Amino acid sequence: MYLYGYQERVHSSRRLEAECRRNLEVMWLLNGRAAQNVSHDR
């Protein structure tokens, strides 16, 4: 998912999570699974 975010210039993990809910390409990448609520240190 982070590689997809980098490619699409989505740098915020919250925005990336929102993309997982609304974007059909991301839903396809996740194979219909829900996105995990994950935090990470920068």
- Over 70: is that where the pLDDT of 31 sits? yes
What are the structural domain ranges in the chain? 1-34
- Nearest-angstrom CA–CA distance, 6 and 1: 9
pTM of the model: 0.52
Task: Match 């974007």 to its residue by tokens.
Answer: 23
* Core vs surface per residue 13-41: b (16+ CB within 10 A) or e: beebbebbeeeeebbeeeeeeebeeeeee
Q: What contacts 40, CB < 8 A, 6 or more positions away?
A: 13
So what's the pLDDT on residue 36? 62
pLDDT averaged over every residue in the chain: 74
